[in-house]
Amino acid sequence: MLIRTMQTIIGTAIDQAVRLLKAGEIAALPAETVYGLAGNALDSNAIAKIFAAKNRPQDNPLIVHVSDMEMVSRLELEIPPLAEKLAERFWAGALTIVFKKTKKSLIPTEISCGLDSVAVRVPANEIFLEIIRQCGFPLAAPSANLSGNPSPTTAKHVYDDLNGRIPLIINGGNCEIGIESTVITLENNQIRILRPGAITPEMLSEFAEVVVDDKESSLSPGTRHKHYSPKAEVIAVSAESEQAFTDYIGETKFAVANPDMQTLFAELRRFDEQDADRIYIRLPETSGVGLALYNRIIRAAEFKIIEVGKNK
């Protein structure tokens, strides 16, 4: 009975989202990574609404969300064989692939901010997927936060940032992954990671040589901007041991000794609500998903890293 009621509520929310999106409106939707702020990817007006609601800089391109590879093939992009293999293995999932546009590309220039490429992924969330299927068109969706804030991993985070600025938020609970997708480009049979995420270099290296482009000024325009920042100052601590970290931070409760994907952004927001001045985060090893965490933490800390308990 309860399950039937839940399905009815979610069904109604899906209908409402589809109606809004078909009418050129925007809506916040749950994804497995972080909440997205969706609009029709083929409609320049809807895209303008997304940029305005988020206060997003005009030079930071959006990811286009599709239901499957068949929908990609209708967009008139160049699809190399390596992309097909990666899509088969990792879609639906947290891998965003950057495709070159052909001359006939249907993607409005506002999405990719004038670049000759478009970033595309299939979200692994049934609500999001069902909405794309019912719309019948792809949905552009950046993270559903105000630009610069930590990405939202609950509907409440979206509400806190965008209440009054958008017509609908669908509550799909906590995001399973909690960090944005891995963004890659493909060139000369090489995989270049522009933004690390839950799909790790180790997982991708089964398919081709992998290069991590984790520099401050990366090809991925979004990684250049101030990002993931709570109001508090974030201090990234590279500590030899957990003990060294604990000794360094002293009494403060605004600290994360073992950051994990699901809770990192939520912790930053929670500490802000408690009026923290400074938040200390211990940097993880950069293997596996640690690379994605490391990437987000050093950006939140504006690339300042404090070393403790080393070189004694």
Identity of the residue, 37 or 281, whose beta carbon is nearer to ligand TXA in the bound complex:
37
Min separation Cβ 34 and ligand TXA, Å:
5
Identity of the residue, 20 or 98, whose beta carbon is nearer to ligand TXA in the bound complex:
98
Q: Show contacts with ligand TXA in window 171-210 (CB under 6 A).
A: 180-181, 183, 194-195
Identity of the residue, 115 or 308, whose beta carbon is nearer to ligand TXA in the bound complex:
115
Min separation Cβ 224 and ligand TXA, Å:
8
Q: Which residue stretch of 141-149, 201-209, 245-253, 295-303 sits at the interface with ligand TXA (rule: CB under 6 A)?
A: 141-149
Return the structure tokens found at 183.
Answer: 């963004």
The yes or no reply on residue 138 touching ligand TXA (CB under 6 A) is no
Identity of the residue, 100 or 231, whose beta carbon is nearer to ligand TXA in the bound complex:
100
* Binding-site size, ligand TXA (CB under 6 A): 29
Question: How many angstroms separate the CA atoms of 62 and 109, rounded?
Answer: 11
Contact 172, 96 (CB under 8 A): no
Look at residue 195 and give the partner it binds from ligand TXA, Mg ion, none, a contact being a CB closer than 5 to 8 Å depending on partner kind.
ligand TXA
The yes or no reply on residue 143 touching ligand TXA (CB under 6 A) is yes
Q: Which of 124, 141, 289, 291 binds ligand TXA (CB under 6 A)?
A: 141
The yes or no reply on residue 142 touching ligand TXA (CB under 6 A) is yes
Q: Show contacts with ligand TXA in window 24-63 (CB under 6 A).
A: 31, 33-34, 36, 60-63
Phi-psi region of 248 (alpha: psi -120 to 50; beta: other; left: phi over 0): alpha
Q: Show contacts with ligand TXA in window 215-274 (CB under 6 A).
A: 219-223
Min separation Cβ 30 and Mg ion, Å:
15
Identity of the residue, 190 or 246, whose beta carbon is nearer to ligand TXA in the bound complex:
190
The yes or no reply on residue 167 touching ligand TXA (CB under 6 A) is no
Look at residue 141 and give the partner it binds from ligand TXA, Mg ion, none, a contact being a CB closer than 5 to 8 Å depending on partner kind.
ligand TXA
The yes or no reply on residue 95 touching ligand TXA (CB under 6 A) is no
- Contacts of residue 8, defined as CB under 8 A and 6 or more positions apart, other chains included, come to none
Min separation Cβ 92 and ligand TXA, Å:
11
Question: How many angstroms separate the CA atoms of 8 and 16, rounded?
Answer: 12
Q: Which of 115, 146, 168, 208 binds ligand TXA (CB under 6 A)?
A: 115
Q: Minimal CA–CA distance to 237: which of 217, 259, 213?
A: 259
Residues lying near Mg ion in the complex (CB under 5 A) are found at: 143
**Residues near ligand TXA, by CB under 6 A:** 31, 33-34, 36, 60-63, 96, 98, 112, 115, 117-119, 123, 141-143, 180-181, 183, 194-195, 219-223
